[in-house]
Chain A
Amino acid sequence: MNEKIRELLAKHGGLSVNVADLNDGADLYAAGLSSFASVQLMLALEEHFDIEFPDSLLNRKSFQSIEAIERSVNTILEERKVA
């Protein structure tokens, strides 16, 4: 999943740095992730993982880092398993 998130981030994030140079905890906003790009990235994640971000995860923190995105996606996938 980490790989895929990195791939989508590279494609949609519009970052000013190379995604490969970012560690999982690096602040994506500091790396240039704009609010427009974060929405595009979210849409790409929804499409790829066939998920839908609930309102509770629609905030800055969910997209703060690669780690945070991974956590958000996992939360959604796990909740689906339970349901």
Chain B
Amino acid sequence: MNIPVKSAVGSLVDRAQRVAAVARTHADAVDRKGAFPEAAVNAMRAERLLSIQVPAELGGEGATTAEIAELCSIIGQACASSGMIFAMHHIKLSSLVEHGMQSEWHRGFMRRVVAEQLLLGSATTEAGIGGNLRNSICAIEVEGDRCRLSKEATVISYGVQSDAILITSRAHKDAASTDQVMTVFLKDQYTLEKTHDWDTLGMRGTCSEGFLFRGEAPAEQIFPQPFAEIAAQSMLANSHILWSAVWYGIAVDAVSRAQAFVRAAARKTPGSVPPGALRLAEVSNLLQTMKSNVVAAIKAYEEARRDEEKLSSVAFAVAMNNVKIASSETILTIINHAMLICGIMGYKNNTPFSLGRHLRDAHSAQLMISNDRILGNTSNMLLIHKQDTSLLG
């Protein structure tokens, strides 16, 4: 099947920049009202960016993780909520691309993602599991060729706006809490009863409300592989890389504002170096470190994905965890620096140098999968992991 590309002209970057232009126009209103960035997501659809990751044989464009990360950053620079929605959608899509190619139903679903530009949501958190998505309480019931699931999902980002939800559960009613599967449910196959609001410090446009999810669908919509494999082989790396790309986008926009501030000051006082200039040099250093870290992670993932052993190794998991910790911490230091440079003009809303939204959005980074949990997980792995002492390896 060959889907004609209608309005999606130009390179992926050109298309993402047009989405970013729309997202930027609405970013402050989305943030203020805690509204779903509908215009930006519609622009993603118009530019057919929701299906770029789908392989060409199914009508997509076979975009790589590196290409998608670049787009996450571009959109994230304009509106962090829009960038994060784009990232989360592609994290879900990566599970389909990596683990759904052998299943006829999942292949057909990917074709639909292309044709209808479907937005994919995720329901991995559950009341009572304490944030550990590798555990489920709810269990999917399979009866004949049908499956049924009810889940107290404390967070489903853009749950109301999703066209389909990929949801985790125990594999059957007697399964251990870690014996999980993931299932795709289409919008007309479930109901959502809202249980939690989303009135937060930042990332307000992701509308990550809580719901009681009740769904029923053909059992073939359950992924054939255990969720443990999906989590280790596609979700871990894609989440940490694409989130980090969005955070880099927030950081680089903050630094651009700081740089514009210093440049404006320099123009007013020719011959003397403005007070923020030294700080700008410092923050440029931090930004470069963050960028190198994300780029190195993308490279590591692209090498590991060719080798299943490497992909599920402790060394790779440690590396991906470290990327997430580093970028989620560095972003706060970077924005704080930018704020010191811009001073009151950065602290105030509605100036060209405003950084309040950036700072609030960035604070989510340490919490979406708590850094403490990730550090605990890494420290456990370091008990057995042998450090690779080479520089380039």
Instruction: Give the interface of A toward B (CB within 8 A).
Output: 15-17, 29-36, 39, 42-43, 46, 53-56, 58-61
Contacts and interface: CB of A to CB of B under 8 A. Distances in A.
Nearest to B172: A30
Contact of A39 (B177, B228, B309, B383): B383
Interface string B223-238: 0001011001000000
Contacts of B229: 60
A61 B307 CA distance: 14
Contacts of B2: none
Interface residues of B, number: 24
Interface of B: 134, 171, 175-179, 226, 228-229, 232, 309, 312-315, 377, 380-381, 383-386, 388
28 contacts: A16-B176, A29-B226, A29-B228, A30-B179, A30-B226, A31-B179, A32-B177, A32-B178, A32-B179, A33-B178, A34-B134, A35-B377, A39-B380, A39-B383, A53-B384, A55-B314, A55-B315, A55-B385, A58-B314, A58-B385, A59-B309, A59-B312, A59-B313, A60-B229, A60-B232, A60-B312, A61-B309, A61-B312
A60 B386 CA distance: 16
Given A55-B314, A58-B315, A60-B232, A31 B176 contact: yes
* A-B interface, 3 closest residue pairs, ranked by CB to CB distance from nearest: A32-B176, A58-B314, A16-B176
A60 B229 CA distance: 9
A59 B309 CA distance: 7
Contact of B384 (A29, A30, A58): A58
A17 B178 CA distance: 13
A30 B176 contact: yes
A78 B13 CA distance: 54
Given A35-B134, A55-B314, A30 B385 contact: no
Contacts of A54: 386
Contacts of A16: 176-177
Given A29-B226, A55-B314, A55-B315, A43 B384 contact: yes
A15 B309 contact: no
A36 B175 CA distance: 19
A34 B315 CA distance: 18
Given A58-B315, A59-B312, A43 B380 contact: no
Given A59-B312, A59-B314, A35 B384 contact: no
Contacts of A59: 309, 312-314
Contacts of A61: 309, 312
B383 to A, nearest CB: 6
Given A29-B226, A32-B179, A42-B384, 13 more contacts: A29-B228, A31-B176, A32-B176, A33-B178, A55-B315, A55-B385, A55-B388, A58-B384, A58-B385, A60-B228, A60-B232, A60-B312, A61-B309
A55 B178 contact: no
A30 B312 CA distance: 17
A76 to B, nearest CB: 13
Nearest to A29: B228
